[in-house]
Every structure is written in structure tokens, then in C-alpha cells.
Amino acid sequence: MPRSTPPDSGPEEDFIARLLSRKKRLLVNRSSQFQDSGFPNAEHLAETVTFAPQDGFIWLCGQRMMLLQGSAFGAMRRELIKSMGKDKARGLLTRLGWQAGARDAAQVAEQWPEGDHAALYSAGPRLHMLEGMVNVEAVRFEIDNSIGHFYSEFLWHNSLEADEHLATYGLSDEAVCWMSIGYASGYASSLSGRLIVFRELECCGCGQAACRIVGKPANQWDDVSAELAYLDAEAFLSESNHPMPEDDGLLASEYEVDLSAEMVGGSSGFIAARQLLEKVAPTQATVLLTGESGVGKEFFAQTLHQHSRRSDRPWVALNCANLPENLVEAELFGVERGAFTGAERSRPGRFERADGGTLFLDEIGSLSASAQSKILRALQEGEFERVGGNTSIKVDVRVIAATHVDLRAEVAAGRFREDLFYRLNVYPIHLPPLRERREDIQPLMSYFLRRFTQRYEKSIPGFTTRLVNVLLTHTFPGNIRELQNLIERGVITCDEGEAMDVKHITLGNKESFLTPTGLTASGRLQPAAVAETVASAAVPDAELGRDELFGAETALDNLRAFVSGQRRELGTTLEDVETMLIRLALEKSDGNITAAAQMLGMSRAQVSYRIKSQK
């Protein structure tokens, strides 16, 4: 039967058709056996295991994992069977396994986009082994996507689930490795984009020497209604596979969908903040955003504005810390001509320009007492005077304020007006630092990689496992902004088509990144150490200290802000900009001064002189 034949309508075909429409597809064009070579291999997968015991994290392929006693799993399995009956418990465990398998497949496809097709499929059984569920022996393993062929037959030894079942119930008259079967089906289906059903034909739980399992596309089995029932296709699809919602509701769904699409993150702290944002966006409430520098307060504020009823009105932002004290009030409320020397024309302030829209006041904690009282009045009465003026101006402005300092402490210290604090603190949203939302690091890495490869028109396939491990355990004092800078720098430094590695983001800085505790291919833990590639990437003639590196980063940021018009002054010396460019060139040339000089259109002597003059 040709594969293009549309399926008959029916619940099974519907299920298959919906699975087929999933975004992630993988085409496998050649037939291959389950093998130990290929990319990614067992060693590559083992390298993705990272332990961060000091933070309470275990990672595998960028996913947070947990170590749980097999016996605790066995006890839960027993309780499920007892309380909900065998069939329901079997369905639940099958779906749990499916979830695990589908997630692993999605991560593997994301991490090795250039991976060998057969190896990507083989990664499923390997991860299943790494996660401690079974020992897989391949009997037959055939894939040929050109004719839609998929057939695999494995033997499972040491099945954890069978052992637990035997320990509780003794020999069973039917196969019992439910979660494992769910895993195999979920992995293969997610990777191929069509429903692959695995079935256990023999099982240790029934007294056989090994579990024998066979996987085929659903339409090649005689009858998969039992399997589909355990997968509970309809409920399963609607709850766990995140199909795009049918968008006929006009109210909440419209902007919620947009928010989750725009905002990257799935950690509990981030989701809590995002939900607060979703709730307050359509209201008129004043919002106070708190959190360390670099956590994305301005991005949150902008998103809030875009999803408010004022989205088609002005968005005006002011960083109160960037202005000299005597200019803050003029900037906020405007100036009447002749108010002070240099005020040759009258001009409106940010409050006036934001009329009808949203005014974002960043670093509100740094305002002077006089500016604080004027803002309080503007908030309370919606009116103010320009500097040097005596006519009241009425505006309708929604204020979003942000601060990285503890305003309550500032109030207690007498530096911040208590009444203004309560006026602003109507709806506080705290944004957690990146080190408290580590689950979001890898999605953010991928997001910034897409963004910067587009901006710099470069093709970079992804990250090395080592870089992912290093960043998953980095402390990120500069938060998301630091991560963003690192990925941008990596995109600039990386060669076309090369995977981004630790050396691309360090610029020769030796000490700031540690290789975390991880697994060797033989399963032994290796302790944390200074990332080895960092040392090898060090620039021999121009080793950089930590301070110098931070100087270069600031120079790059300032230059970018200046060019884009966000800064009125460059705020950095031309020398620093030059130093930064020389460092980038040296990094790209692996410390070869002649090659770096060529990149910059300078002579070797010029570059050499500048390196020496920095010491």
C-alpha cells in the first residue's frame, strides 16, 4: 500500500494523523543495524549526565532528572494497582514511560541535529539503559524511511519493572514492563513523527529468560486498540502533547498563547512570574518588578505593555540611574523655556510623552527625594508641572517601576518615601535569578543561538555537550544578560558550521567556568575541574585577567547601545573598543598574532605593540 494513501477516518487513524502533524520530523534514509558507532554514541550520551550536588540538580541531555530508589517506584506501582485497578495503573505507567521517551527523543534531536539517523534511534535504547530501566540487546533493527520501513526487535534483560512486579506478585500471566514499553513507543514515535507501537511478546515477569519486544508502525500491527487504550490517545494528546489550541476564544487565550510563545522558560519560578504578568497585563494597575540586574525586568515590562490595553499607545522607558540628579526631573516632567541655562526651548518630559501609554521607570530606587515626591503626585493626581513651569499638566500614564535594590530596606533607611513605595508596590512581581531557574538555561541558549545566528547570518548547528554542562552549572552573576552576551560572543567567535564550545565563549578567561561533576563513558563519576578546553584556548601572547574580560564585555555592550541609539554617549574609550576587537581576533586565530592582524587589517607589529602596551 503506498504511503501517501490518506488514512481511513477513525480514532486510530486520527491519532496517527495528529501525531504525524507534529513539528519535529526526522527522515531516515538508510537501513541500518543498531550499532555502537555513529553519532551520538554511548559515550556522547553519557557525557550529557551532569551532577550538581551543591545545587541539588542532576541533568541528562539538558533535562532535570532524579535518582529514585527502584523499590520506591515498586511501592508506588503497587499502590496504583491497588487503588485504581490493574488496567488503569497500566495505562498511567505506559503514559509516564511515553512521556519520558518522547522527551528524551526531543532532546536528542535538538542536541544532535546533525546526528547520524540510525544513531539517533539507537540513542533511545541507550538512554533507557543509562536511566537504569533495562539492559537492551538488539536482535533486529531496521529503518528505511524511503519506503517507510521500521522494524525493531530487542531483548530486555534486568528489567527493573519486571523485578519489582515479581517481588510483589510473583509470576504474571501477561507482560508487565508497562512503563518501558511506553518509553520505547514514545521515543520511536516522537523521533519519527508517526505512531510506532512496541509490544512485549515475552517477559521476565512471566518467567521467560528475557523480555522480547517488537516495534512496528501502528498500521502494521493487526490490532493496536489495546495499546491505544493504554495510551488513552484522546486525553493524552490534548493534555501532554501541547497541540496548538483551536483559537476561537477572544478573551484570555489570545494573549496567553502569545506570552508563552514570546517568553522562554518552564521553571516554576519563571512560570509563577509569567502568570502574574498575564493576570495584571490587561488591568490598569501599577506594577513593581524586582530582581537582580540582568534578569529581564525591561523585557517583562515591555511584554506587559504589549499585552495591555495600551499596546497601541506610547511605550516610554527611562533608566533613572543613568541620569545625573539635576537632569532627572527635566527628563521626567519636561522643561519650560528658560527654566535653567541651556533650556532654550520648552520640551515635554517622559510622563507627557507616555500619555495614554506606559512609562517604564527602571532603577527607581536611585531617585532623589524631590523627584520621588513629584512622581508620587503624578501617580496620585495624574498631574505635574514642567521644570520652570507653573501650569499643571494632566496625563493618563500607567507606570511600571523596576528595581534591583530592596525598596523596603531603602524605606527603613529613610532613603525612599514610604508612601511612594506603597503606591508602586500595588502589584509586585519578583523575577528569579537565572541560577534559581536552571531548567531554563538550555532553552534560553537555543533561543539566543537562533536569534544571533540570524543577526550575524551564520550557521552554527548547536552546542557541544561540554559547553551545555559548563553553562548548566555556572552561577551567572549577570543573569540572562550574561548568558545572552556569552552566546552572542560565541556566535561571533565560532567558525561557520562549527558547534559552539567552551573556548568560543571564554575569550581566554581561564577561571570563570568549571567543568561540573559528570559521568565517564564507563559510568564513573569524574569530579569538577577547571574546563580543560579553556586552558587550551588561552591566548599565549595576551592572556587576559578577569577584570580585563569584563572590561571588554562592557565595551562591546556600550558600543552596541551607542550604535543603536540607546546610549547618547559611547561611555567607553575607543581604546577599549580596539582592545576588545583585538581580543576577538586573537581568540578566532587561536592566539596567532599574524592571522589576527590580517583579520583586522593591521600590521603584525601594530597588534603586537598593543598587546604589550596593555600589560
Least Å distance between CB 138 and Zn ion? 16
Least Å distance between CB 222 and Zn ion? 21
Which of 93, 593 has the CB closer to Zn ion?
Answer: 93
**Residues from 108 through 147 that contact Zn ion (CB under 5 A):** none
Q: Which among 70, 77, 96 is positioned nearest to 169, based on CA atoms?
A: 77
Q: Residues 545-584 vs Zn ion: string with x where CB under 5 A?
A: ----------------------------------------
Q: Which helix (H) or strand (E) holds 157?
A: strand 149-157
Part in contact with Zn ion (CB under 5 A); list of ranges 153-161, 250-258, 340-348, 587-595? 153-161
Which of 176, 531 has the CB closer to Zn ion?
Answer: 176
- In angstroms, rounded to a whole number, what is the distance separating the alpha carbons of residues 73 and 101? 17
**Residues from 203 through 262 that contact Zn ion (CB under 5 A):** 203, 211
Residue with cell 534514509: 29
Which of 211, 263 has the CB closer to Zn ion?
Answer: 211
CA atoms within 13 Å, Cβ hemisphere of 41:
8
Q: How many CB atoms lie within 10 A of CB 113?
A: 12
Check binding of 177 to Zn ion (CB under 5 A).
yes
CB 117 within 8 A of CB 163: no
Which of 162, 218 has the CB closer to Zn ion?
Answer: 162
Residue 436 carries which DSSP code? G
Q: Across-strand partners of 63?
A: 60
Part in contact with Zn ion (CB under 5 A); list of ranges 42-50, 157-165, 300-308, 526-534? 157-165
Please give the C-alpha separations between residue 329 and each of 386, 387, 613, in angstroms, as whole numbers.
Answer: 8, 7, 43
Check binding of 441 to Zn ion (CB under 5 A).
no
Least Å distance between CB 210 and Zn ion? 8
Q: Which among 404, 608, 460, 371 is positioned nearest to 114, based on CA atoms?
A: 460
Least Å distance between CB 85 and Zn ion? 20
Check binding of 181 to Zn ion (CB under 5 A).
no
Least Å distance between CB 202 and Zn ion? 8
Which of 93, 486 has the CB closer to Zn ion?
Answer: 93
Which of 134, 472 has the CB closer to Zn ion?
Answer: 134
Least Å distance between CB 217 and Zn ion? 22
Residue with cell 557525557: 47
Site residue total, Zn ion (CB under 5 A) = 5
Part in contact with Zn ion (CB under 5 A); list of ranges 175-183, 303-311, 506-514, 573-581? 175-183
Which of 159, 366 has the CB closer to Zn ion?
Answer: 159
Least Å distance between CB 158 and Zn ion? 10
Check binding of 160 to Zn ion (CB under 5 A).
no
Which of 88, 157 has the CB closer to Zn ion?
Answer: 157
Least Å distance between CB 162 and Zn ion? 4
Least Å distance between CB 183 and Zn ion? 12
Please give the C-alpha separations between residue 316 and each of 98, 132, 383, 393, 459, in angstroms, as whole numbers.
Answer: 48, 54, 17, 17, 35
- Report helix, strand or coil for 596: helix
Q: Sign of torsion, CA 405 361 318 292?
A: positive
- In angstroms, rounded to a whole number, what is the distance separating the alpha carbons of residues 574 and 279? 46
- In angstroms, rounded to a whole number, what is the distance separating the alpha carbons of residues 243 and 234? 12
Least Å distance between CB 200 and Zn ion? 5
Which of 133, 399 has the CB closer to Zn ion?
Answer: 133
- In angstroms, rounded to a whole number, what is the distance separating the alpha carbons of residues 149 and 29? 10
**Residues from 195 through 214 that contact Zn ion (CB under 5 A):** 203, 211
Check binding of 162 to Zn ion (CB under 5 A).
yes
Q: CA angle 88-90-96, nearest 5°?
A: 105
- Report helix, strand or coil for 214: strand
CB 311 within 8 A of CB 358: no
Cell numbers placing 526 = 569524574
Give all strands of the β-sheet with 149-157 in edge-to-edge order. Answer: 135-144, 149-157, 211-217, 196-202
Which of 205, 433 has the CB closer to Zn ion?
Answer: 205
Part in contact with Zn ion (CB under 5 A); list of ranges 151-159, 250-258, 339-347, 564-572? 151-159
**Under the rule (CB under 5 A), what is the footprint of Zn ion?**
159, 162, 177, 203, 211
